Every structure is written in C-alpha cells, then in structure tokens.
Amino acid sequence: MKKHIPNLITLGNLLCGTIATIAAVNGNFEIAALSVTTGIILDFLDGFAARLLKVSGELGKQLDSLADMVTSGVVPGIIMFTLLQENSLNLFEKSADTLNIASFSTGYFPYFGLILTLAACYRLAKFNIDTRQSDSFIGMPTPAMSLFVIALPLIPLYSDNQFFIDLVQNNYFLIGVTLVLSFLMNAEIPLFSLKFKSYGVKENLLKYVFLVASIIMILTLEVISIPLVIILYVLLSVGSNLSKKKA
C-alpha cells in the first residue's frame, strides 16, 4: 500500500492543476494561483514521500511529469493568454479607428501566451531523459515559471504599486516575459537546487542568501515579490556559475 502513497500525492497535484485550469479559463486568478501553489507543494511532497518510504519507480516519474504539465504548463499558458486578451480588449475598445488591429489583438495575439505551455512540455520531456539534473537544474524548473506567471494577474488586485501594475497591463512586457521564460526553461544554464545535503553555512551560503533575501522581499513587497524572487534565483545561479568559471 505504501508504494501508492507518493502516486496519490502526485494525483493530488494533478487535481489542483485541473482546478486551476478551470479557474484560469474563467478568469478567477486567485483560485488559480491558490490551486497551482498547492499543486507545487504536493509536487515537492510526492518526492519527499517517495524517499521517506523508500519507494520509487518509472510510473511515479511519468505521473509526476504529467501532473506538472497541467499545473506548471497548461495553467500558466492559459493565464498568459487571458492577460494578453484582457489587455487587448481594454486598450482597443476605446478606439473605433483601430478595428483591424483590435481584431488581430483580441483574436490571435493572445495565443502567443501559449508558447509557455509548449516550452514547459519540451522542458519536462528533456528533464525525464536528462541524467544531469539529480542535484541541480539545467534550465528554469517549470514550477518556478508557473509561480512567476500566476503572480502577474494578482499584482493589480493586491498591490497599489502603479509601476508594476502598468507592466502587467502592457502586452509588450507580457510577450517579453513569455519569450524569456520559455528560453530559460530550456536553456543550458545550471541553476542551483534548494535541496540540502547538509546545513553548514559555507557549503550552503548561496542557498541561505537566497532564502533570507526571499523572505525579506515577501514580507516587504508581498505579491510583487514572487516574480522578483524568481528573477533573483536566476541571477544568483548565473553569478555562481560565473564565479566558478573564474575560479
């Protein structure tokens, strides 16, 4: 019976992803974000449970990727699609002289957001056959990308910082985010893992710096901090890679 416990947790991740998909389609970004976050936590717990119970297998590996594809692949693509569509409608409904542009922007332009889903699928497939990613990551993990994206529609709802609100309501910015995140997921860039083999400060200094900085940003910037934490994660990883090459 115990060998099925991690798989049941993985299916819980898939359930959360399915609920988040429905919420995202309906424009309920709060429920989508809560469901995705819960799914990502379950994604962590299924691996933890498998190690704790000393059970693992190919079935669990495949289930994990399939669940992640929904929670951290389909959902962010739909959210980005919806944001692009809403921004286009808000922009072009104000002008009767741009009907042709409006037709393209509201009809076809938002589909660019689904590039995230395609890139996430490609990354997950590569991850399954890549033996280099046991202790660290090559490219941005899909959960990190998903957390970045689900935070974007929450910024206008829970923040009064006009600079970040204007960014989220700018389709050029959103397309840029889509392309950069799609690239980072599949780029040959080593990113550090938050798994701790020991808890010494010297060997885990980078992780501790990241965790402390993340907590400070979360406490001070709230929802805005989520994409900033992901950016910090990438920058620290790149900085660490460069310092190792120089050494």
What pLDDT is recorded for position 185?
96
CB 139 within 8 Å of CB 184: yes
pLDDT score recorded for residue 101: 47
The string over 211-225, giving b where at least 16 C-beta atoms fall within 10 Å of a residue's C-beta and e elsewhere, is eebbeebeeebebbb
CATH class, domain 2-246, is: mainly alpha
Question: Which residues lie below 8 Å from residue 19, measured CB to CB, with a gap of 6+?
Answer: 31, 35
pLDDT averaged over consecutive 10-residue blocks of the chain (247 residues)? Answer: 85 97 95 97 88 80 92 97 89 51 63 97 89 76 96 96 95 96 95 77 86 95 96 94 78
Check residue 109 and give its pLDDT. 85
pLDDT at 96: 46
Predicted pLDDT of residue 173 = 96
**Cα–Cα distance measured from residue 247 to residue 245, given in angstroms and rounded to the nearest whole number:** 5
State pTM to two decimals: 0.90
Report the sign of the C-alpha dihedral through residues 151, 69, 195, 183, in that order. negative
